[in-house]
Structure 1
Amino acid sequence: MSAGVISHQTAPMARDDQVYDAVRRRVVLFPLPFQGHISPMLHLAELLHARGLAVTVLHTDFNAPDPARHPEFAFVPIRETLPDGAASPETDILAQLLALNGACEAPFRDALASLLLGQRPPDPDVACVVVDGQWYTALGAASGLGLPVLTLRTESAATFRSMLAFPRLRDAGYLPIKDERLDELVAELEPLRARDLIRIDGSDEDALRGFIARIADAMRVSASGVVLNTFDAIEGLELAKIQDELSCPAFAVGPLHRMCRAPAEHSLHEPDRGCLAWLDAHPPRSVLYVSLGSVASVGPGVFEEMAWGLASSGVPFLWVVRPGSVHGTEGTPRMPDGVDEEVRSRGKVVTWAPQREVLAHKAIGAFWSHCGWNSTLESICEGVPVLAQPCFADQTVNARYLTHQWGVGLELGDVIERATVAETVRMLMTRREGDRVREKARQLKLQADQCVATSLAIDNLAQYMLSI
């Protein structure tokens, strides 16, 4: 097997005699059951289907995707049984990931084996399996059935590279992270500091390192390739260094949501589309969009400081406040007393928004984000600068790249305090510093547009799937 990053600009054009055999080949996909993972997997499915591959999606009952949105795919539930509390939004995310891997290994293997046994001509045979990169048990299970299996990494190349480096970081004394080294640059991972390495506050650090080690080990032993939702223009160096560490090819196929001709919103929440009409009434680049994503949450004190900071900033805002976004609250959190009047006069609060349409709207001037990778890519592709408030896991890596590598964002800092919030919002939305990062965001958008226009990466991935 030849190794090498299959990039957008350097990939060879498929030969005319290399045609896709839609009658005989199928790809089986297994997404992790969280919105930030389901969306890129189904975008990948759309792109592969458009290139002649039949698609079967194995999925958990927990946070199951809606088959009605994709009648062209076959959807097969694995019928897992999760431990008590594993599906609760209050459960620590690391504990959830470990529980999901443990509970889904056997049902996934059984469902995949049944699929293989049930194949009868003229049904397409299975060319390969693609599992989410967090499914280390499914990776081993698919390989054990004799199938080529690839992993889809739904985080940035920089984050994945830092995961591969964890054993060396431990040996170099960066892990566990020590207070006295928090602001020290990590030599092999610049611009990351020790404080930017993957962490989940409140989780056991040994358990987190063990989880990352299982992911890396399973991929090195069982994977026939790794698929990354990123592109060379922003992460070319990171992609090259990843390939140096792997014995299988790496495919940079992003930004996946832009590669699809008409990508559907794969949302686990119902968006409030009325916010688009509200945005229509505002001047260009005047509104701050605020969303911490589909999983991240904050404490009541941080929520109150965010609310008062927005209220005193003088800037119009559209704020996504979903159920579960504040620790210890049931249902949708209420605005702190006294903030409601400001919300009515200058802001709009919704439980969920059609984010890609919001970011593409002319009224949006910036995005206050948790810096999840999907949100990061969506902001880059629309040329929207970011106000960074990472919450956990890979978000700290993305925030550092947004602010210090690409220069398209500003940091809020580790302590969320209303006066700092108001000042930073005004800086980004109305002052020269905001103009500077907005221009860099515009330039990065042009690079993303060029990537989408010239990419051959998905074609090369599909050809590779048919060859292994």
Structure 2
Amino acid sequence: MSRRCCVVLVPAPFQGHITPMLQLGAILQSKGFSIVVAHTMYNAPDPLNHSTFTFLPLPDEVVDFDNTYMNLLNILDTININCKSRFQGYLVQLMENVELHGEVVCVIYDAIMNFVDDVGNGLQLPTIVMRPFNCAHLRAHRYVLGLRSENCLPLPESQMEETVPDLHPFKFRDMPLLSNEIPDRIFKFLKTAHTIGSSCAIIWNTTDEIENHHLSILREDFQVPIFSIGPFHKMAPPTKTSLVEEDNNCIDWLDIQAPNSVLYVSLGSIVSMDDKELIETAWGLINSEQPFLWVIRDISVNVAKFNSQMPDGFLEIIGDRGCIVKWAPQKTVLGHSAVGGFWSHCGWNSTLESISEGVPMICRPDFGDQLINARYVTDVWNVGLKMEGIVDRENVEKTVRRLMVSVEGNDMRKKAAEMKHKCQESVREGGCSFRRLNELTEFISMLSS
């Protein structure tokens, strides 16, 4: 790169969005770009974990919002209103003081931070959309938006198990937001988030190796360059992205476990368990007689009730066979030789991290893209099981044993190893993501010429 170029990143303030954006920043910095991150005060990343980035806080006035799914839109509405003016001011300063970070060549923003494209367009600064979910999820959302515009919702229950036209093998039950109870403003927000405005390209945390069909369709639909350079975490230099302090002591526990013996249980940063499901899950894990590493976040469960309903000496009962932490270094855990399965909510980051390490999954999707991701895992890649029906101790025990010790589970482990190989090939020199990254680097460098 003959001149110093600066890329400004604007992540959305949720773990599943911040993680890929910071990873993308590390990728682009390794290619010679200077990185500025304009972020909300709400769920702000820790600058100490990224000493070579410049961080610019955006006052957002997000106060006393609970981080639950149905409240996310309220948070985003507040952010998209309150951050716009300060962000514009930051960009003007950066563009006027080229000697500080180099020439600002573009802004890369999370698709749900829709104020960014308006600001970039007004300043005649190129913008690029970063999509942290998979391509199938976007196509599913667009399909549902079409049904809504044609007044075809709600669908009859009898149709829910049918395969969606042009989206095989996804079923209507996998589609996001099919309920007629979803407010109009959510559909309006999603419609905005699924367009690209004046943006000149899209960056996707996926790879042609696993989503070639959907990527081909979307490249025709959008008519702008699409750079599929995932999995980001395999392309990026090591970087800390967690908003929660990780308990690394669990790695010492994993070190003394047998290969492929441990089930890792973590439902992400937003999904929660009710009291009954928590207790039933605990008993199911105990009764399965399989070693487990379980992430239980204080904010996601009623810890006091959990402790009161477990028998005296609960930790003694599980002994060395179980390890419970508040948060774990997930990529390290999934890459550990002792881990043979992952019980997950199936967020896209978690799904990519799991298949990248060849770890089969138990899927317990809850909302959003998780249903689509779970269908990928169980019916497309055949590397996991879905937790069907009621989550009680018998069901948990049966499903855990199916994945961890049955012939069926062993077959899934072999298929997961094949998925790992595909991801490895994609990011190696000559692979799809490797080539797309080189194309992206050239594309960004030429934006100001």
TM range, normalised to the smaller chain? over 0.9
For residues 1-400 of structure 1, what are the structure 2 equivalents within 5 Å? 20-23=1-4, 25-82=5-62, 84-86=63-65, 88=67, 92-117=71-96, 119-121=97-99, 123-170=101-148, 175-199=153-177, 204-217=182-195, 219=196, 221-260=197-236, 262-326=237-301, 329=302, 334=307, 336-338=309-311, 339-400=314-375
Q: Deviations over 1:147-192 (max 9, x none)?
A: 1101110011111222233333335776445433221211122211
Alpha-carbon contact 1:306-1:418 (below 8 Å) kept: yes
2:308, 2:219 → 1: CA distance?
48
Cα offsets for 1:109-141 (capped at 9, x unmatched): 333233334x24475111100001111222222
Amino acid at match of 1:150: I
Structure 1: state its 5+ residue gaps: 1-19
CA 1:179–1:140 in 2, change beyond 3 Å: closer, same or farther?
farther
1:181 and 1:238, CA in 2 relative to 1: closer, same or farther beyond 3 A?
same
- Aligned equivalents of 1:61 and 1:187: distance in 2? 42
Distance 1:284 1:42 in 2: 32
Aligned in 2, Cα 1:241/1:345: closer, same or farther, shift over 3 Å?
same
Displacement of 1:296 in angstroms is 1.5
The amino acid that maps onto 2:439 is N
Task: Give distance in 2, aligned partners of 1:428 and 1:393.
Answer: 25
Structure-2 separation of matches of 1:226 and 1:175: 30
Q: Distance in 2 between matches of 1:143 and 1:50?
A: 27
Aligned residue for 1:430? 405
Deviation at 1:330, TM superposition (A): 7.3
SS in 1 for 2:9: strand
Moved more, 104-113 or 244-253: 104-113
**Deviating runs (4+, > 6 A) in structure 1?**
200-203
Which amino acid is the alignment partner of residue 293 of structure 2?
L
Q: In the alignment, is residue 401 of structure 1 matched against residue 398 of structure 2?
A: no
User: Could you tell me which amino acid in structure 1 is paired with residue 382 of structure 2?
Assistant: G
Instruction: Measure how far apart 1:334 and its partner are.
Output: 3.8
**Counterparts of 2:404 and 2:13, CA distance in 1:** 35
The answer to which of 89-98 and 233-242 deviates more is 89-98
Moved more, 383-392 or 192-201: 192-201
Give SS of 2:258's match.
coil
Pick closer, same or farther for the CA change 1:178–1:340 going to 2, 3 Å: farther
2:31 and 2:372 mapped to 1: Cα distance?
33
Partners in 2 of 1:223 and 1:331 — Cα distance? 49
Which amino acid counterpart does residue 54 of structure 2 have in structure 1?
A: A
Mapped partners of 2:183, 2:406: distance in 1: 40
Q: Give the number of the structure with larger relative contact order, counting CA–CA contacts within 8 Å between residues 6 or more apart.
A: 1
Name the % identity.
37
- Letter of the 1:337 partner, please give it: M
Distance between the aligned counterparts of 2:303 and 2:67, measured in 1? 12
Shift of 1:410: 0.5
SS where residue 257 of structure 2 aligns?
Answer: coil
Query: Cα–Cα, structure 1 residues 440 and 205, in superposed 2: closer, same or farther, change >3 Å?
Result: farther
What is the distance in 2 between the residues matched to 1:173 and 1:44? 39
Residue 241 (structure 1) shift:
1.1
- Greater displacement, 32-41 / 285-294: 32-41
Deviates more, 1:164-173 or 1:388-397: 164-173
TM-score under structure 1 length normalisation: 0.88
Instruction: Please identify, of 137-146 and 427-436, the stretch whose mean Cα deviation from structure 2 is larger.
Output: 137-146
1:336-387 Cα distance to aligned partner (Å, 9 max, x none): 3225443335211100111111111111110000000110000011000000
Q: For 1:314-345, what per-residue CA distance to the aligned partner results, in whole angstroms no more than 9, with x for missing partners?
A: 1110000012122xx47996473225443335
- Contact map agreement 1:94 1:203 (CA 8 A) in 2: no
C-alpha root-mean-square deviation of aligned residues, in Å?
2.3
Distance 1:286 1:450, change over 3 A: same
User: Which residue type is aligned with residue 113 of structure 2?
Assistant: W
Q: Per the alignment, do residues 465 and 287 of structure 1 end up closer, same or farther by CA in structure 2, a change over 3 Å counting?
A: same
User: Which amino acid in the other structure matches residue 171 of structure 2?
Assistant: R
Letter in 1 for 2:361: V
Tell me how far apart the structure 1 counterparts of residues 389 and 125 of structure 2 sit (CA, whole Å).
Answer: 45
Offset of 1:86 from its aligned partner?
2.7
| Shift in CA distance, 63/306, structure 1 to aligned 2, threshold 3 Å | same
Once residues 174 and 302 of structure 1 are traced to their aligned partners in structure 2, the CA distance between those partners, rounded to angstroms, is: 34
Tell me the distance in 2 between the aligned counterparts of 1:68 and 1:309.
40
Contact 2:60 2:83 in 1 (8 A): yes
1:215 and 1:124 map into 2 onto residues whose CA distance is 30
Q: Contact conserved, 1:27 with 1:126, CA < 8 A, in 2?
A: yes
Query: Counterpart of 2:80 in structure 1: which amino acid?
Result: N
What's the counterpart of residue 462 of structure 1? 441
Report the CA distance between 1:422 and its aligned residue: 0.7
In structure 2, give the amino acid aligned to 1:140.
D
Q: Which amino acid aligns with 1:181?
A: Q
Q: TM (normalized to structure 2)?
A: 0.92
Query: Against the structure 1 CA distance between its residues 367 and 253, is the aligned structure 2 distance closer, same or farther, given a 3 Å change threshold?
Result: same
Structure 2 partner of 1:17: none
Which of 446, 454, 459 pairs up with 2:421? 446
Answer yes or no: is the 8 Å Cα contact 1:127–1:466 preserved in 2. Answer: yes
